[in-house]
Amino acid sequence: MRITNTKMILWVFALCFFTLSDAVIDLTMFSAAMIRTPENFSISCINGERNSAQAKLDIKKDNKILMFSSVPQYKMHKSGNKMVVARDFSRLENIGIFYCESSQDFPPVEKITMINNLDNDFVPNSLTLLANVGETVHLTMHLLNPQRRDVTWKYNGNYYYMTHWIDMFNETVELTVENVKLDNQGIYSASYVGDTPLNGAWMRLIVRGCPSQKWGPNCIRDCQECLNGGVCHEVNGDCICPPGFMGTHCETACREGMFGQNCQETCGSKLNCKGLRFCLPDPYGCSCASGWFGSHCENACHNGMYGPDCKFSCKCQNGGVCSRFSGCQCPRGWRGQHCDRSGRYLNSYSDMHVFFSHYFNIICILLEILYIDQLCNLIKLLHSVFLLNNPTLKMNENFGSPAYPKSIFLSVYSDKEPITLMNLEPSTRYYVRVQLSRPGEGGEGDPGPQAIMETDCPEIILLTIHCLYLQGEETILQFNSGTLTLTRRPKPTPEPLTYPILEWENIKFEDVIGEGNFGQVIKAMIKKDGNKMSAAIKMLKEFASENDHRDFAGELEVLCKLGQHPNIINLIGACENRGYLYIAIEYAPYGNLLDFLRKSRVLETDPAFAKEHGTASTLTSQQLLQFAVDVANGMHYLSDKQFIHRDLAARNVLVGDNLVAKIADFGLSRGEEVYVKKTMGRLPVRWMAIESLNYSVYTTKSDFYDVLCVCASGGTPYCGMTCAELYEKLPQGYRMEKPKNCDDEVYELMRQCWRDRPYERPPFSQISLQLNRMQEARKAYVNMALFENFTYAGIDATAEEA
């Protein structure tokens, strides 16, 4: 077993290594295309990677395709390892082909740009042309000075083809390459026969190694949709975004004058990037910045057009306004690339009793059918047939019923009255007797008379459908036996949600610090009330669902209602741009508490340091206990507000300035005293309370289970046990053993938090008080001294995902 695990670890490491090496580097090269004079001309190369300090940048000029007799004399100006600028060119030195190289431990990364003669006879239709393997491409040059002379085409400086002057039309000359292969990628030039190449022009053909919309070693994987002119990388499937856009799908526009993978770079004195030509890693190539086109990138887009080289049409709908820099600016309530996606949510009706094999006149989007049998069992849908081609909807369903228990025996002990019987089965008959007892011999009396009680069938959703009502306040369901009228119950008028508003132009995006399937978090520098500060910007991706948008707005509502507290991640403000919501929250420079604790395991990371200083952690006992104090204080605040977090774990606690722990991730929070989860999904079993595991019930008493994880230095709860074993043993009273470095007083507090009955657990006010008293005692409650046979709590990443 040990050998198998070792192989698995090595394989994962190799996978991570190749993924990193295949990633598209954030390298941008741009030139002052609008400048005609060599002495004022410049070429810049910027490395936007976070580890750019390890890279070396250089700009080189090609001397093989276009050969010069003298060595270039232009000057190189470097700003650390992040930026290099070539300038102070002499006559004709700015003409030709230039490379930007970024070199570190891996092979150099090259990007190429062509700088054409500003007074030549030819102008390429595009400096770079992208083609997929197997396609036919047309390389086109415009003739500024048309002559009845043949044109010579060269490929990488060697003769390739000759176009007769009779074959030139509309002052253009064209070279067609059929069934392109990787060998066809390179530099193509055109000039009149017998002329110097300086009077001609160059363009570059880039060939993707896969067919269109495919990527991967065997070109069998489908590319994700790359918006706004983004290009799918054939090696890793990532979208290479054009200058002026960012995001997984290039769905987010930068502010005017910004570029880079995270919109972190600025065009400087050229605040709107006019006259700058950008080149990005292959297979993107070169283009003007968003909002500009032309051979010198100095022409603004025509009305209705936007993006790099103004290639894209806005086609804004529903009152959207076209911006040549970012595309459609959507009015409130609309979003999407063309403002064609509504932010509205359909009305939801759940309490509908449906008799199958009947017809009813209603337009419905059917999401889920649940059927309840006579014993109140929830029957799973096995098969469904829907006919949606006419005004009626017919449903034919097959159901299967699970086994039902025959009898249940319960014993309830209590020294108080009245007695409440919990966790009863629905639609079940119970025979109840009361028996009194007292301590000592003979203290047990005879059972009392038998009483019969029956539980009712609970209110369970029978049919969940989202319906579009064309008009009116009533819904009529047409049955064979007549009509049934369901009157819409008016919803309470919601209170208007007010939040601090951030202006879009006051947000400067920097690095992506977190990403999920439908959202991402980006570090940004914002300006609020005249002050600049770091913030974490949460946003949804282009392809997020309506439910994701609803939950995201719900998270903003939770943050607004919670207010400010030093031990929660506080709301800074929110901004709506192009129909999308951006939430700015406090930035925590040290990341989440779980990773922070695991990084403190110095005996694993630096054994020599650990042995020299006699410690197993870079954190002191007081610091570790303070994390628990901070979390308890934050949860005390949440519970007082009657908010249930539902996923309190170290991974959802962030470490801010001065190592202050702050509770975060309120996406699952509920402002209710009791919340019952009705939907299926993956659950964090190892961090859940008993009632949440067994009955999907959450209260403020359910949030206790991971508040004292600091003793384990980020270890996995119940490491070595499967989820199935936990389901079996936890109700039987099994709990984690006391860590060797944990004081008895701390462990006793942990045991109290793990009690079966929620009402027997201490409130967060009491936990906070006890932990603060421990902190004031200055005792090593979490002993990180390197004693004999010291071992850390185990970590099982696979189990944490279960």
Binding residues for Mg(2+): 652, 665
Catalytic pick among 121, 309, 647, 703: 647
Whole-angstrom distance, CA of residue 516 vs CA of residue 157: 47
- Burial class, 199, CB count within 10 angstroms (exposed 0-12 / middle 13-18 / buried 19+): middle
CB 754 within 8 A of CB 735: yes
Q: For Cα atoms 712, 716, 721, give the angle at the middle one, nearest 5 degrees.
A: 125
* 487-492: long-range pairs with CB below 8 Å, 24+: none
Encoding tokens for residue 531?
């002050």
Task: Count Cβ atoms below 10 Å from residue 190 Cβ, excluding itself.
Answer: 26
Whole-angstrom distance, CA of residue 706 vs CA of residue 650: 7
- Burial class, 682, CB count within 10 angstroms (exposed 0-12 / middle 13-18 / buried 19+): exposed
Instruction: Give counts: helices (H), strands (E), the chain.
Output: 11, 52
Q: Which of 681, 649, 749, 631 is nearest to 735 (CA)?
A: 749
Helix axis angle, 744-753 to 764-777, nearest 10°? 170
Whole-angstrom distance, CA of residue 662 vs CA of residue 592: 9
Q: Which of 676, 669, 674, 647 is nearest to 562 (CA)?
A: 669
Whole-angstrom distance, CA of residue 418 vs CA of residue 44: 80
Is residue 647 flagged as an active site residue?
yes
Side-chain half-sphere CA neighbours of 684 within 13 A:
19
Whole-angstrom distance, CA of residue 611 vs CA of residue 68: 63
Task: Count Cβ atoms below 10 Å from residue 490 Cβ, excluding itself.
Answer: 7
130 in helix, strand or coil? strand
Side-chain half-sphere CA neighbours of 66 within 13 A:
27
- To 10 degrees, the CA torsion angle through 56, 58, 64, 66? 160
Encoding tokens for residue 478?
């047409």
Encoding tokens for residue 146?
């048309």
- Burial class, 83, CB count within 10 angstroms (exposed 0-12 / middle 13-18 / buried 19+): middle
Encoding tokens for residue 198?
């300086």
- Burial class, 219, CB count within 10 angstroms (exposed 0-12 / middle 13-18 / buried 19+): middle
Please enumerate, by residue number, every residue annotated as part of a binding site: 514-521, 538, 651-652, 665
CB 190 within 8 A of CB 151: yes
Please enumerate, by residue number, every residue annotated as part of a binding site for ATP: 514-521, 538, 651
Whole-angstrom distance, CA of residue 2 vs CA of residue 693: 32
- Burial class, 67, CB count within 10 angstroms (exposed 0-12 / middle 13-18 / buried 19+): exposed
Helix axis angle, 621-640 to 764-777, nearest 10°? 160
- Burial class, 705, CB count within 10 angstroms (exposed 0-12 / middle 13-18 / buried 19+): buried
SS3 content of the chain, % helix, strand, coil (to 5): 20, 30, 50
Whole-angstrom distance, CA of residue 644 vs CA of residue 252: 33
Whole-angstrom distance, CA of residue 304 vs CA of residue 321: 9
Q: For Cα atoms 11, 17, 19, give the angle at the middle one, nearest 5 degrees.
A: 105
Catalytic residues: 647
